[in-house]
């Protein structure tokens, strides 16, 4: 039912993610037993978790942004700039199977870093083939283009922001 190549999961329901169980266990997967009049959730927090997960996986952008701001406080995960004009970004892009995901596949990026990442992925998407060395060079050039004087990237992977990449610049704020 989940199409990982779509941002919005049309037709997805709470029952798809958390189906009714025959056993008297909580529907969120916490393995707590249901008691008394409880029919699906062992507690309010279990129900809240299930609903939040549903809205994120479904692709509700306003809910995703609210939860992302709670987690990241508007701080860019690439350059660490704090901005009120931040953007939510799929770490693994939707065109590579990152749709229908949890909050762990989202990050906060400032407009500048998001623009550069988008440009880089558009190049990769259209070329479809890139060597690992060329990949590293693209990331290094991207960081230098953002004003990096020194780069500390312990692992450069196919996902631009899957590892913490930091850079410093005398002109960066």
Please, which pLDDT band fits residue 105 given cuts at 50, 70 and 90? very high
Among the residue ranges 5-14, 20-29, 32-41, 161-170, the one predicted with the least confidence is: 161-170
pLDDT at residue 143, rounded to an integer: 61
Please, which pLDDT band fits residue 23 given cuts at 50, 70 and 90? confident
Query: CA–CA separation, 173 vs 158, rounded Å?
Result: 27
pLDDT at residue 7, rounded to an integer: 92
Nearest to 13, CA basis, from 40, 42, 50: 50
pLDDT at residue 170, rounded to an integer: 38
Residue 48 has pLDDT above 50, yes or no: yes
Please, which pLDDT band fits residue 138 given cuts at 50, 70 and 90? low
pLDDT at residue 171, rounded to an integer: 39
3-state secondary structure of 137: helix
Reported as half-sphere exposure (CB side, CA atoms, 13 A), residue 141 has a value of: 8
Looking up tokens 């259209």 gives 126
3-state secondary structure of 75: strand
Residue 69 has pLDDT above 90, yes or no: yes
Query: CA–CA separation, 96 vs 4, rounded Å?
Result: 8
**Better-predicted residue by pLDDT, 163 or 85:** 85
Query: CA–CA separation, 115 vs 139, rounded Å?
Result: 13
pLDDT at residue 95, rounded to an integer: 82
Among the residue ranges 1-10, 30-39, 137-146, the one predicted with the least confidence is: 137-146
pTM above 0.75, yes or no: no
- Mean pLDDT over all residues of the chain? 80
């Amino acid at each position: 039912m989940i199409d990982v190549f779509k941002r919005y999961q049309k037709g997805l329901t709470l029952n798809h993610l958390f189906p009714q169980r025959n056993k008297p266990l909580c529907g969120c997967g916490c393995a707590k037993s249901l008691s008394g009049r409880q029919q699906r959730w062992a507690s309010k927090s279990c129900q809240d978790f299930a609903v939040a997960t549903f809205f994120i996986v479904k692709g509700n952008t306003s809910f995703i942004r609210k939860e992302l701001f709670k987690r990241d406080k508007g701080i860019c995960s690439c350059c660490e700039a704090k901005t009120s004009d931040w953007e939510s970004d799929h770490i693994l892009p939707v065109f590579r199977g990152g749709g229908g995901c949890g909050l762990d596949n989202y990050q906060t990026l400032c407009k500048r870093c998001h623009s550069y990442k988008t440009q880089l992925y558009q190049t990769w998407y259209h070329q479809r083939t890139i060597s690992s060395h060329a990949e590293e060079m693209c990331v290094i050039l991207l960081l230098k283009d953002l004003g990096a004087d020194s780069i500390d990237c312990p692992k450069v992977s196919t996902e631009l922001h899957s590892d913490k990449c930091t850079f410093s610049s005398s002109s960066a704020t």
